[in-house]
Structure 1
């Protein structure tokens, strides 16, 4: 019964994510993508969350990441209205649970190098990615060193692989032109996977 409730709540949250994404991006994401991702994420969160509160927080993290990923895929931009409040919420919740130091350490260790990379090459790594790193780094820091290491190493590899596949595809479709690979979805996907794995 609990799984059904989480799945239903996830689907409703996914509909909300779709509406929010459409408003922020100016066009809708792929049909049923947000609903499926949020519904599936909520079910997995219910299954792996050690407590109902932890499951709820994991499901909320999934929703946040779905919104961010959908917008980034559509317009290659991570809006401040999502990145900044999300990062503040993660750090505040961690501090309230007594893990504020771990959250700040995780955020700083991930966002710091990314900020330097952004300053060195703004076209390669956007400011939105740096702001997102604060939130996902804080969440991973609370989850522990294994989760943080996954979040630090996994996204660059995933984005690089996507870029390589895109280049190969352009050889077959030369008229497609060069495309930018958004980094936000990789950061979000690896963070969700890491936290659901270690929960």
Structure 2
């Protein structure tokens, strides 16, 4: 399923992006996000082996394209609030989400303020909507754990960032 999602994402990147280097960068972003989302959904963790090098690659690609400053600003401005939220309530937002925010913030920041704003504001709404569906479908009552239900936030972060980058064109 991951391979099919990544292949579809690559096709979308090619169709939605005007240049070959841009399409390759967007396809790589989509592939990275598919891998991260699969890990978060299956293990409820965003592994360092994916988040940290991915953020470094995003920053390097942005710098190579002449967008180092907005990418770095996007990374810091998105990871900062995530770090504060993690420190305030570590069980509600994991450290992996903070590291992922750096890479996705860089990708969105390199594509402009509108893309960054979308990548910053949309994920909490997507996660809340997923939570409402989970509660509405009765999944919580049927599968309740002693400490409640863990709903991963990484897939929402990835979906919002990819949508923002694609919309930025």
Shorter chain as denominator, the TM-score bin is over 0.9
Q: Which residue matches 1:104? A: 72
Deviations 1:67-119 (A, max 9, x none): 00000000100000000000000111111222111001001111001100000
Unpaired runs of at least 5, structure 2: none
Determine if the alignment matches structure 1 residue 135 to structure 2 residue 95. Answer: no
TM-score under structure 1 length normalisation: 0.80
Tell me the SS of whatever aligns to 1:143: coil
Q: Which residue matches 1:183? A: 153
Structure 1, 37-46 or 69-78: larger mean CA deviation: 37-46
Q: 1: CA distance between counterparts of 2:40 and 2:141?
A: 24
Asked which structure has the greater CA Rg, the reply is 1
Q: 2: CA distance between counterparts of 1:55 and 1:159?
A: 28
Q: Which residue matches 2:166? A: 196
**Aligned to 1:159, which of 127, 139, 163?**
127
Q: 2: CA distance between counterparts of 1:173 and 1:143?
A: 38
Residue 164 of structure 1: CA displacement? 1.9
Q: 2: CA distance between counterparts of 1:143 and 1:59?
A: 15
Q: Which residue matches 1:90? A: 58
Determine if the alignment matches structure 1 residue 147 to structure 2 residue 115. Answer: yes
Q: Which has the bigger relative contact order, CA under 8 A and spacing at least 6?
A: 2
Deviations 1:35-60 (A, max 9, x none): 22111111111111111111011111
Determine if the alignment matches structure 1 residue 125 to structure 2 residue 111. Answer: no
Residue 150 of structure 1: CA displacement? 0.6
TM-score under structure 2 length normalisation: 0.94
Unpaired runs of at least 5, structure 1: 1-32
Q: Which residue matches 1:68? A: 36
Tell me the SS of whatever aligns to 1:84: helix
Residue 173 of structure 1: CA displacement? 6.5
Residue 175 of structure 1: CA displacement? 3.1
Q: 1: CA distance between counterparts of 2:149 and 2:4?
A: 26
Question: How many pairs were matched up?
Answer: 166
